[in-house]
């Protein structure tokens, strides 16, 4: 067994590994985009058979951003499990982080119930649960007469898809502003690539002019960016559509945003499956959104976990700092599952 860097010619190996051995739906285009990021690093564990054939049996990826780095794609082929391969891969990625001065010192990941004990051994601590949710557009319930609903008629929507001047649109800037406020990172590279390379889109939900004029004081305008923007979501759309992140100022605009997405996907003959990862905290607001929009958590019994590690502060009292992360604000409803 040897470790090799993950490169473009190995994308299909990684997709196969993740699909067959972890049951994940992975779009090769997303890996293409990751690989072109200047701070992307990945390693593969390769088994070499007696006749010299190489077979990819494990993987890990790392994306370093301004304030944190994300660990992802930790998968080991079923016949090769419990031999320490995942431990070796994660250790390699973390050792790389330690070595590279100037890279962020906070490391995050979304752990499956299977992966959580492994990360805990490295000092990662869980900060909240995440439900991986799916919804089929075949459900007759995808459509609800949103515009007939009096509460929802307070909103207007805007959909921003790829066109040459999409970066000039104020929705694009308002979304990046909100995303940077919540995540601390400038993730425009990913959104830019997604929107250019697929049918991905951005959706903004605005308070109607009358409501906005009545309710929004000048102070709030300063603090909240565009005062009319009540919810915004990014939808990556390759084979399946994946919603996230979704930021909103209130419950009704999040629900309105989700139904507007369903309708748009349905009218555009999308794939049948819509996915999202829902952060769950003590309040039941997010779970209420799930049932209202009929998203079904894939595993009710054990959600995934958002886990954090401060690799360079091991030995200090990490627990004091763990909960200061800003991406858990109440405005963040749904979060994409990896590298975000």
Ligand X SMILES: CC(C)(COP(=O)(O)OP(=O)(O)OC[C@H]1O[C@@H](n2cnc3c(N)ncnc32)[C@H](O)[C@@H]1OP(=O)(O)O)[C@@H](O)C(=O)NCCC(=O)NCCS
Q: List contacts with ligand X (CB under 6 A).
A: 21-22, 74-76, 81-87, 111-112, 114-115, 117-118, 121
| Nearest approach, Cβ of residue 244 and ligand X (Å) | 17
| Nearest approach, Cβ of residue 115 and ligand X (Å) | 3
Please count the helices (runs of H) and the strands (runs of E) in the chain. Answer: 11, 14
Q: Taking a C-beta distance cutoff of 8 angstroms, is the pair 205, 229 a contact? A: yes
User: E strand or H helix at 269, and its extent?
Assistant: none
Task: Tell me the residue nearest to ligand X as measured from the CB.
Answer: 115
Of 112 and 198, the one with the shorter C-beta distance to ligand X is 112
Q: Which two tokens stand for residue 336?
A: 């994409």
| Nearest approach, Cβ of residue 300 and ligand X (Å) | 17
| Nearest approach, Cβ of residue 116 and ligand X (Å) | 8
| Nearest approach, Cβ of residue 47 and ligand X (Å) | 12
Q: Taking a C-beta distance cutoff of 8 angstroms, is the pair 109, 124 a contact? A: yes
Q: Which two tokens stand for residue 339?
A: 């590298």
Of 92 and 252, the one with the shorter C-beta distance to ligand X is 92
Of 121 and 139, the one with the shorter C-beta distance to ligand X is 121
| Nearest approach, Cβ of residue 14 and ligand X (Å) | 12
Of 76 and 202, the one with the shorter C-beta distance to ligand X is 76
Integer Cα distance of 106 and 66 in angstroms: 10
> Strands 241-248, 69-76: parallel, antiparallel or unpaired by DSSP?
unpaired
Q: For 263-277, give one letter per residue: b (16+ CB within 10 A) or e.
A: bbbeeeebeeebbbb
Of 81 and 180, the one with the shorter C-beta distance to ligand X is 81
Of 22 and 233, the one with the shorter C-beta distance to ligand X is 22
Q: Which of 172, 154, 152 is nearest to 163 (CA)?
A: 172
| Nearest approach, Cβ of residue 299 and ligand X (Å) | 11
Of 15 and 118, the one with the shorter C-beta distance to ligand X is 118
Q: For 308-340, give one letter per residue: b (16+ CB within 10 A) or e.
A: bbbbeeeeeeeeeebeebebbeebbbbbbbbbb
Instruction: Burial-class residue 232 by CB neighbours within 10 Å (0-12, 13-18, 19+).
Output: buried
| Nearest approach, Cβ of residue 337 and ligand X (Å) | 10
| Nearest approach, Cβ of residue 206 and ligand X (Å) | 37
Of 28 and 84, the one with the shorter C-beta distance to ligand X is 84
Instruction: Report the Cα 26 to chain-centroid distance in Å.
Output: 13
Q: Taking a C-beta distance cutoff of 8 angstroms, is the pair 159, 212 a contact? A: no
Of 119 and 175, the one with the shorter C-beta distance to ligand X is 119
Q: Taking a C-beta distance cutoff of 8 angstroms, is the pair 286, 278 a contact? A: yes
Instruction: Burial-class residue 83 by CB neighbours within 10 Å (0-12, 13-18, 19+).
Output: middle
């Amino acid at each position: 067994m040897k470790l090799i860097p993950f490169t473009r010619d190995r994308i299909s190996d990684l997709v196969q590994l993740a699909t067959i051995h972890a049951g994940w739906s992975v779009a090769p285009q997303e890996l293409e985009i990751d690989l072109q990021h200047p701070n992307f690093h990945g390693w593969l564990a390769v088994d070499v058979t007696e006749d010299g054939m190489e077979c990819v049996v494990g993987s890990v990826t790392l994306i370093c951003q301004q304030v944190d780095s994300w660990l992802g794609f930790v998968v080991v082929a079923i016949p090769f499990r419990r031999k320490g391969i995942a431990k070796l891969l994660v250790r390699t990625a973390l050792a790389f982080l330690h070595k590279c001065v100037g890279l962020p010192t906070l490391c995050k990941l979304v752990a499956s119930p299977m992966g959580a004990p492994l990360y805990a051994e490295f000092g990662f601590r869980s900060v909240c649960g995440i439900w991986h949710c799916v919804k089929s557009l075949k459900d007759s319930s995808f459509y609800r007469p949103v515009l007939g609903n009096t509460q929802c008629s307070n909103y207007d929507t805007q959909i921003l898809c790829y066109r040459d001047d999409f970066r000039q649109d104020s929705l694009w800037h308002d979304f990046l502003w909100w995303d940077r406020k919540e995540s601390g990172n400038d993730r425009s590279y990913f959104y830019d690539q997604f929107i250019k390379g697929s049918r991905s889109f951005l959706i903004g939900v605005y308070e109607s002019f009358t409501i906005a004029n009545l309710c929004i004081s000048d102070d709030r305008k300063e603090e909240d960016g565009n005062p009319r923007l009540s919810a915004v979501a990014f939808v990556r759309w390759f084979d399946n559509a994946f919603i996230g992140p979704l930021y909103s100022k209130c419950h009704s605009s999040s629900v309105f945003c989700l139904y507007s997405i369903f309708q748009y996907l349905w009218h555009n003959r999308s794939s049948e499956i819509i996915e999202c990862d829902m952060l769950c905290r003590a309040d039941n607001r997010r779970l209420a959104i799930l049932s209202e929009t009929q998203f079904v958590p894939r595993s009710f019994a054990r959600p995934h976990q958002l886990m954090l590690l401060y690799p360079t502060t091991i030995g200090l009292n990490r627990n004091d700092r763990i909960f200061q992360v800003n991406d858990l604000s109440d405005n963040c409803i749904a979060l994409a599952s990896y590298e975000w």
